[in-house]
A and B are shown apart, each in its own frame.
Chain A
């Protein structure tokens, strides 16, 4: 049956020949794990295409829906966490694998004649992969992606002569906006993948033209291995390990929610993707008129060096020990890039330079004098709460007033008003803490622990947020977020007659309605308040299978697969040695 089908197909389409030409290749010196990284990168690229397409079933590339559609995929779609997690960590793994593959090619001297073109196409592949990394980071339209794109396109704008042109064409206008997202989206999902596929084909054809390079020692080259099954076995093993690591990362280290993009936010400290951190750090070293050296000079020099390598280094010698110049230049560059990446990762220019730095809102907050004058002005009490110095939590309240029957001491959430857009945005708790410290701490106390007096109110103090009132709290992140948002959007009144001095109780500003805070800022503050109450705003409501369970399940499946592969391998090696012995006897 199969033989018939096989013949039918091969009479019409050269399946056998193609399979033969794809798998029959001699590898001088035998198969090696060192050669597995090229094919691992290709396999990973295919995984990126699949997870990328899967994400597009949910993702919407518009500035007002990108963040929420991705959040929905990640938290409410079964295995959405897996699809996105694999794509996110896979993108980083792509860059790592490419770096390993490039280093391997370099050490083996595989860029030398006649393989120069394979190397050049490889450099193009690296650059297009970095372009994928840059355009992909913008798509969630979160704080990290938005600011990385803002700075990245601005850097393009500093290129002499064509800068403004490049920047505006990339952005689709003078400012970041919907057209920027559209452009990055179409580049990321159509244009760049198509180019990458084309260049991968060129790369593989060029590689096959001259074949595998093998070890540099003549003596080791005599023994030859076969691509199928020797190298494929090793390739499969390496990629399966990578895949398992990626599943582990997706399960144990979910990509952060950096909060929705907020163009007027100043508390967020933007940094690029880790693979661009060395450039980010280098930029800071070049100041004033030297700036273009950092932004354009260094990347250009690196690119020229990579492209020119086969032409600068024309000696035939491949042994790394006999190529001291090439190896030491490469080592210095590698150490430099790694050092800059690490220092870039740990650098916080604003905060480190001045730990006592106050945020803009703190410096804006009224001084004690203002608080005093505010106290004497009844009207102002409802506009802005009196500012107490931070850390006055736990102040003894002596002003509590007896509650008349039938009167509530608090306003229930539903009576405050409707939640706003922020309720559905997944904020970032860390960022929310900074905003909380700048805007909320004066009334709700440090870490929201409360205790700040509110004379004239039935409660006597401004309600604590940590722990929060039980009628606001909910285990369900969406409900909890909505309840908190009602207050932050609409403000709140503290019921009470008025204080002994005739001053009405302080009320809370409608931060959302008055636009004192942007919706993304509110979402971050909500995430922080939920965090201190033990609820994760980014809790997955439908995981399909719990991430950790899924990882251990995959681990078990992979172990079985490895055992089967190993058994196959043993049988085939055994059979081959037997065949070899037989032919010797003859």
Chain B
């Protein structure tokens, strides 16, 4: 008797139950797979184009011959830029510090969280208005939450004219990385 109870009797009802459970699971699995096939392209349409890396080109900024040595100067220039389907001329800005023949062009974007910082002539340092990061004239962090010094653009000087490659860097991290 005991032995008989332990063995699962394969009654038609039981058979029906396992068959139904299998069908339920199977339908669910097929539906999920179908859903996934749809989800991938739909999600990809939102993701892939956002991840494209823009590569900057050298653009002429202006003459640096007469810039005073060691005084940061905000310079502006225009660059043709595509914002998705909108093709427009963007106004760009760059902080230029000249030291003899050496010309440094700092990105105007605070490497902390992307605000535009200012030059404080009195205290001789850069200050970001958002979270109070302070940078020295050479771009080093003096204090504040910024995780790294100011970002430098690649520069070229020919015939006294400065050209820079305007780029965006990953913010809020200590390593400098292009985005």
Contacts and interface: CB of A to CB of B under 8 A. Distances in A.
Interface of A: 63, 147, 150-151, 154-155, 157-158, 163-165, 168-169, 171-175, 177-179, 264-266, 268-270, 280, 283-284, 286-289, 291, 294-295, 349-351, 353-354, 356-360, 362-364, 515, 518
Q: Which of B73, B74, B120 has the most CB of A within 10 A?
A: B120
B51 A165 contact: yes
17 contacts: A63-B83, A154-B114, A154-B171, A154-B172, A155-B113, A158-B172, A174-B179, A177-B86, A270-B129, A283-B113, A284-B131, A288-B174, A350-B132, A353-B132, A356-B122, A360-B118, A515-B76
Contact of B127 (A164, A171, A265, A354): A354
Contacts of B141: 288
Interface stretch (B31-39, B97-105, B143-151): B143-151
Interface string B85-125: 11000011100000000000000100011111111111100
A350 B128 contact: yes
B49 interface: yes
Contacts of B54: 173-175
Interface string B168-179: 101111100001
Contacts of B114: 150-151, 154
B52 interface: yes
Contacts of B170: 157, 164
9 tightest Cβ-Cβ pairs between the two chains A and B? A349-B132, A158-B172, A363-B121, A350-B129, A177-B83, A154-B113, A174-B179, A266-B116, A154-B114
Contacts of A357: 118, 120, 122-123, 127
A354 B130 CA distance: 14
Nearest to B48: A169
B132 A291 contact: no
Contacts of A155: 113, 172
A253 B52 CA distance: 43
B164 to A, nearest CB: 15
A179 B143 contact: no
Nearest to B116: A266
B122 A291 contact: no
Contacts of A360: 74, 118-119
- Provide the main secondary structure of the chain B interface: loop
B122 A289 contact: no
B97 to A, nearest CB: 13
B179 A168 contact: yes
Contacts of A269: 129-130
A294 B131 CA distance: 12
A179 B83 CA distance: 8
Nearest to B115: A270
A550 to B, nearest CB: 38
B50 interface: yes
Given A266-B118, A354-B120, A364-B73, A175 B168 contact: yes
Contacts of A362: 121
A147 B51 CA distance: 22
A562 to B, nearest CB: 46
Given A284-B131, A350-B127, A158 B116 contact: no
A63 B172 CA distance: 26
Nearest to A347: B132
B173 A158 contact: yes
B15 to A, nearest CB: 36
Nearest to A268: B129
B91 A264 contact: yes
Contacts of B129: 266, 268-270, 349-351
Contact of A518 (B91, B108, B130): B91
Given A157-B170, A289-B147, A518-B91, A177 B121 contact: no
Given A173-B84, A174-B168, A264 B93 contact: yes
A289 to B, nearest CB: 7
A454 B170 CA distance: 49
Nearest to A171: B50
A534 to B, nearest CB: 30
B147 A291 contact: yes
A169 B46 contact: yes
A360 B116 CA distance: 11
B53 A174 contact: yes
B21 interface: no
Contacts of B83: 63, 173, 175, 177-179
Given A179-B50, A358-B121, A157 B115 contact: no
A158 B172 CA distance: 6
A353 B127 CA distance: 10
A362 B76 CA distance: 16
Contacts of A150: 113-115
Contact of A172 (B50, B128, B144): B50
Contact of A151 (B92, B113, B120): B113
Contacts of A518: 91
A295 B112 CA distance: 11
Given A175-B168, A357-B123, 18 more contacts: A171-B50, A174-B53, A177-B83, A177-B86, A264-B76, A264-B91, A265-B116, A266-B117, A270-B115, A270-B129, A284-B144, A289-B174, A353-B127, A357-B118, A358-B121, A358-B122, A360-B119, A515-B76
B47 interface: yes
A357 B117 CA distance: 13
Contacts of B78: 515
A158 B112 CA distance: 10
B12 to A, nearest CB: 38
A286 B145 contact: yes
Given A264-B91, A283-B145, A172 B84 contact: yes
A270 B130 contact: yes
B171 to A, nearest CB: 5
Q: Which of B47, B113, B145 has the most CB of A within 10 A?
A: B113
Nearest to B91: A264
Contacts of A295: 172
